[in-house]
C-alpha cells in the first residue's frame, strides 16, 4: 500500500533526536518491522471515504503505530521478554530503564503528532491511552474474587487490543471525510476485529503446529497467561480439566508439562468453544459494514472477517 510508505517516512522523521542514542533505541523496534496492522487498518478504513490520501490520514496512521510501539517497549519490561519481532528486545539489549524511557519518548512524539490533527483527535487518543493502561492494569491484577474469569479476560483484550484498533478505524474514517455514522461503524468494526485477532492468536498458540503457524507453541503457557481456550477448558469437571487447573495455576517451564497441557487442551472442548465465539465476533464485525459504501475497501474488510476465523483452522 503506497500510503504505508508515507507512514514509514513519518515514523522515521518523528523519532529524530539531537541525542543519537534516543534515536537509536526508538528506531530499534520501528526497523524491526512487524505487521503494521494498525496503520494499515487506518489507511484501509480511509479508502471508504472521499479523501483517502489526505495527509492527516497518514499522520493519524503514524500516531496509532507510535502508540502501539511505545506499549511494546513497556510490555517487554513487564514480561521480562528477551525477543521482540525477531530481534533482541530493548530491555534485554540495554536495560529496563532505557526501554521504559524509549516508550515514553514515543508516547511524547505521538502526542506532538496528534496535536496537529486537532483537539478532537487529541481527546480520542487520550481516552484510548487510558483504556490501554486500564487493560494492562486489569490483566496485571487479575480478576477480583468471584469475578467471572472469561468476562474479565474479554474485557482485558477489548481494552488492551481492541481499543487502539478501534481508534485506528475511527481515525481513518474521520480524516478521510466519512460521515459520522460511517466513522462509528469503522470504530465498532475495529473494536470487534481487534479482539477477534487476539482470540485467534490464542487458538493458534495451542492448536496450530509450530511449522505451520511460524510461532513457538505454548508461549502463553510459558508466560502463565490464561487465554480464552484455557479458561473454557478448565471450566469442566472431568479429570483432564482438573489436571489442567493444576498445570495452569502457574507459568510452565518444563517442556514435558507444556506438551501435556497442549495435549489436554486439544482433547478438550476449550478450543472448539473459542472457535465458536470467534465466529460470532467475526459475524458481528461483518454486520458493521452495512453502512459503508460498496467499494474494494469494504470488500477487503469483509474478507478480513473471514480470514480471522480461517487462520485458526
Average pLDDT for 170-194: 98
Q: Are 104 and 5 in contact (CB under 8 A)?
A: no
**pLDDT tens-digit profile of 98-108?**
999 999 999 99
Query: Which residue, 147, 178, 209, sits at the end of a domain?
Result: 178
Q: Is the pLDDT of residue 212 over 50?
A: no
Report the CATH number that the domain containing residue 306 is assigned in CATH.
1.10.600.10
Query: Which residue, 143, 178, 213, sits at the end of a domain?
Result: 178
How far are the Cα atoms of 133, 148, 149, 153, 220 from residue 144, in angstroms, in the given order?
18, 8, 9, 12, 21
**Which of 118-132, 189-203, 217-231 is least confident?**
217-231
Q: Structural domain tally of the chain?
A: 2
Is the same domain home to 38 and 165?
yes
Q: Is the pLDDT of residue 208 over 80?
A: no
**pLDDT tens-digit profile of 36-58?**
999 999 999 999 999 999 999 99
Query: Which residue, 178, 208, 243, sits at the end of a domain?
Result: 178
- For residues 155 and 47, give the distance between their C-alpha atoms in angstroms, rounded to a whole number: 30
Is the same domain home to 59 and 171?
yes
The CA-to-CA distance between both ends of the chain, in Å, stands at 27
Q: Is the pLDDT of residue 172 over 60?
A: yes
Is the same domain home to 193 and 167?
no
Is the same domain home to 33 and 9?
yes
Q: Is the pTM of this model over 0.95?
A: no
Domain interval for residue 116: 1-178
The predicted structure's pLDDT at residue 35: 85
Residue 54: φ, ψ to 5° = -60, 140
The predicted structure's pLDDT at residue 213: 41
Nearest to 11 by CA among 46, 45, 53, 60: 60
Q: Average pLDDT of the chain?
A: 91
Q: Band the pLDDT of 240: cuts 50, 70, 90.
A: confident
Q: Quick one: how far is CA 258 from the chain centroid?
A: 25
Q: If you count them, how many residues does the chain have?
A: 313
Is the same domain home to 173 and 280?
no
Is the same domain home to 187 and 298?
yes
Q: Band the pLDDT of 128: cuts 50, 70, 90.
A: very high
Q: Residue 17: how many CA atoms within 13 Å on its side-chain side? A: 15
Nearest to 284 by CA among 310, 302, 299, 297: 302
Nearest to 227 by CA among 310, 294, 304, 312: 312
Which of the pair, 148 or 217, is modelled with greater confidence? 148
Q: Are 308 and 200 in contact (CB under 8 A)?
A: yes
Amino acid at each position: 500500500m503506497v500510503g504505508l510508505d508515507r507512514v514509514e517516512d513519518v515514523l522515521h522523521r518523528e523519532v529524530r533526536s539531537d541525542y543519537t542514542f534516543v534515536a537509536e533505541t526508538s528506531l530499534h523496534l520501528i526497523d524491526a518491522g512487524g505487521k503494521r496492522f494498525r496503520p494499515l487498518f487506518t489507511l484501509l478504513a480511509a479508502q471508504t471515504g472521499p479523501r483517502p490520501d489526505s495527509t492527516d490520514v497518514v499522520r493519524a496512521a503514524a500516531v496509532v503505530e507510535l502508540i502501539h510501539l511505545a506499549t511494546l517497549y513497556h510490555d517487554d519490561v513487564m514480561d521480562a521478554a528477551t525477543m521482540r519481532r525477531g530481534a533482541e528486545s530493548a530491555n534485554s539489549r540495554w536495560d529496563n530503564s532505557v526501554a521504559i524511557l524509549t516508550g515514553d519518548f514515543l508516547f511524547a512524539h505521538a502526542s506532538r503528532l496528534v496535536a496537529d490533527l486537532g483537539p478532537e483527535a487529541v481527546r480520542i487518543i487520550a481516552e484510548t491511552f487510558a483504556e490501554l493502561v486500564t487493560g494492562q492494569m486489569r490483566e496485571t491484577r487479575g480478576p477480583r474474587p468471584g469475578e467471572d474469569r472469561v468476562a474479565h479476560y474479554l474485557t482485558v483484550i477489548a481494552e488492551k487490543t481492541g481499543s487502539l484498533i478501534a481508534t485506528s478505524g475511527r481515525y481513518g474514517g474521520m480524516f478521510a471525510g466519512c460521515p459520522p455514522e460511517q466513522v462509528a461503524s469503522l470504530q465498532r468494526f475495529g473494536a470487534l476485529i481487534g479482539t477477534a485477532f487476539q482470540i485467534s492468536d490464542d487458538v493458534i498458540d495451542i492448536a496450530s503446529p509450530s511449522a505451520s503457524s511460524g510461532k513457538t507453541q505454548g508461549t502463553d503457557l510459558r508466560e502463565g497467561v490464561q487465554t480464552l481456550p484455557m479458561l473454557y477448558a478448565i471450566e469442566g469437571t472431568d479429570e483432564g480439566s482438573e489436571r489442567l487447573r493444576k498445570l495452569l495455576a502457574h507459568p510452565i517451564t518444563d517442556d514435558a508439562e507444556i506438551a501435556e497441557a497442549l495435549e489436554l487442551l486439544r482433547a478438550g472442548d476449550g478450543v472448539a468453544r473459542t472457535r465458536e465465539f470467534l465466529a460470532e465476533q467475526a459475524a458481528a464485525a461483518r454486520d458493521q459494514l452495512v453502512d459503508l459504501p460498496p467499494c474494494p475497501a469494504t470488500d477487503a474488510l469483509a474478507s478480513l472477517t473471514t480470514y480471522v476465523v480461517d487462520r485458526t483452522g
